[in-house]
Homo-oligomer: A and B are copies of this chain.
Amino acid sequence: MRLNTRVEGIEPDRGEVLLAHGERLSYDALVIGTGAEASLPDIPGTAQDGVFTLKNLRDGINIKEYIKRNRCRRALIVGAGFIAMEMSEALRNLDLETAIVYRGELPVKKWDPVFSGVVLEELTKNGVSFIARKSPVAVERDSQGLRLLTDEGKFEADIIIFALGVKPDTGLASEAGLATGKSGAIKVDSSQHTSREEIFAVGDCCESYHRVSRKWTHIPLGDMANKQGRVAGRNIAGYSLVFPGVVGAQSFKVFNLEVAMTGLDEKGAEASGYSPAGTIIWGSPVAASMNRGEKLGLKLIADRVSGTLLGAQAVGQSGAVSRVNILSACLWSGMGLDEIGYMDFAYSPPFSGAWDMIHTAAQVLEKKL
């Protein structure tokens, strides 16, 4: 194990990696797991003290220490994806005044606007301000603290966190002549080989095959990185193993809300050549007789031509992730709404109605196709 050791270059034709200070290491097989880097906007002032991104454990520790050391009271988060959501909860738990500044209208834009609206309500209910339709143009500092300048007004803070997504870190791979895909991430096959047989790439730096869109995509998530690492390792050790791809399942928790999705939304489905239709239903995550005021929203997207499920989204205090996981298994094997509408689940009133919301949604959507 060589920790804290920077690789300066890969030389595939010599089968060597070049370390800092000129040292070289030779390899028979090489695994690239360079991950992704948090995006920063190209605006002045982002390099100052008190401006952070959040990608790894070290970033998290740094943010916590900075807040403590400087007795921060006011935090700004720029961006409104799931990292921004999770950060807003963490900052409120530390009792900071927290505001999210976002160029769009609603948070978590990957989800249906109706569900993004539910997330916005949850933020508001928990004291997070959501400042919509503002793009950052600079960060300044004076004796009062930091100031985020936007195209429409300034916002003061003691700490600013940019949560604008990540980009695959492909520098070393590209310099070594390895192919990248349309997504910008390193191109791999199902055994995680890059364009060179003896070099593997895994995790946030590489692409994954999306079983629903049937395209190679860049969806950087920790669970896939784990799986791809094992697939590469087994192939290197001589056991053939294939990474069977992803369906785009993801989730986050924000305060008391579970938010989850899988597969494609209508836009993604169209871009993949499908003819999508969608429906949202609202219901109870457990049998109505056992519900204590919880509501679950479930959206299904399916193909008009084949009736196949293409995607699902869910939002609620409970039961959202478990539904999306079931529907991920359905997507995985390409099930149609006709089957999903009559599938057999482990029904019991504390856990669902006799007709689960999955059944109802599938039947409602099937009628719309």
A264 to chain B, nearest CB (A): 13
- Tell me, yes or no, whether A227 is within 8 Å of chain B by CB: yes
- Tell me, yes or no, whether A335 is within 8 Å of chain B by CB: yes
Instruction: Tell me which residues from 199 to 225 in chain A have a Cβ below 8 Å from any Cβ of chain B.
Output: 221-225
Stoichiometry (number of copies):
2
Q: Are B328 and A223 in contact (CB under 8 A)?
A: no
Q: Are B250 and A348 in contact (CB under 8 A)?
A: yes
Closest to A82 in B: B348
A40 to chain B, nearest CB (A): 24
Of A18-26, A100-108, A272-280, A338-346, which stretch is located at the interface? A338-346
Per-residue 0/1 for A320-355: is the Cβ within 8 Å of any B Cβ (1 yes, 0 no)?
A: 011011101110110100010011111110110011
- Tell me, yes or no, whether A282 is within 8 Å of chain B by CB: no
A342: B residues at CB distance < 8 A: 227, 231, 243-244
Q: Are A251 and B221 in contact (CB under 8 A)?
A: no
Of A68-76, A109-117, A252-260, which stretch is located at the interface? A252-260
Q: Are B328 and A325 in contact (CB under 8 A)?
A: no
- Tell me, yes or no, whether A262 is within 8 Å of chain B by CB: yes
Q: Are A343 and B328 in contact (CB under 8 A)?
A: yes
A243 vs B245: C-alpha distance in the bound complex, in angstroms?
31
Q: Are A344 and B322 in contact (CB under 8 A)?
A: no
A252 vs B339: C-alpha distance in the bound complex, in angstroms?
24
Q: Are B244 and A339 in contact (CB under 8 A)?
A: yes
Q: Are B339 and A332 in contact (CB under 8 A)?
A: yes
- Tell me, yes or no, whether A249 is within 8 Å of chain B by CB: yes
A265 to chain B, nearest CB (A): 15
- Tell me, yes or no, whether A248 is within 8 Å of chain B by CB: yes
A261: B residues at CB distance < 8 A: 346
Number of interface residues of A (CB under 8 A): 48
- Tell me, yes or no, whether A174 is within 8 Å of chain B by CB: no
A354 vs B354: C-alpha distance in the bound complex, in angstroms?
31
Per-residue 0/1 for A46-58: is the Cβ within 8 Å of any B Cβ (1 yes, 0 no)?
A: 0000000000000
A226: B residues at CB distance < 8 A: 354-355
Q: Are A324 and B346 in contact (CB under 8 A)?
A: yes
- Tell me, yes or no, whether A63 is within 8 Å of chain B by CB: no
- Tell me, yes or no, whether A78 is within 8 Å of chain B by CB: no
The residue that A330 contacts in the complex, of B231, B253, B324, B329, with Cβ under 8 A, is B329
Closest to A246 in B: B344
Residue of A249, A261, A322 contacting most chain B CB atoms (<10 Å): A322
A70 vs B104: C-alpha distance in the bound complex, in angstroms?
65
Q: Are B348 and A329 in contact (CB under 8 A)?
A: no
A77 to chain B, nearest CB (A): 18
Residues of A within 8 A of B (CB): 221-227, 231, 243-253, 258, 260-262, 321-322, 324-326, 328-330, 332-333, 335, 339, 342-348, 350-351, 354-356, 359
- List 26 contacting pairs A-B, 8 Å CB cutoff, sorted by A: A222-B354, A223-B344, A224-B344, A225-B354, A231-B342, A243-B342, A249-B344, A249-B345, A249-B346, A249-B347, A250-B347, A250-B348, A251-B346, A252-B348, A253-B350, A258-B350, A258-B351, A261-B346, A321-B346, A321-B348, A322-B322, A325-B346, A328-B346, A332-B339, A332-B343, A333-B335
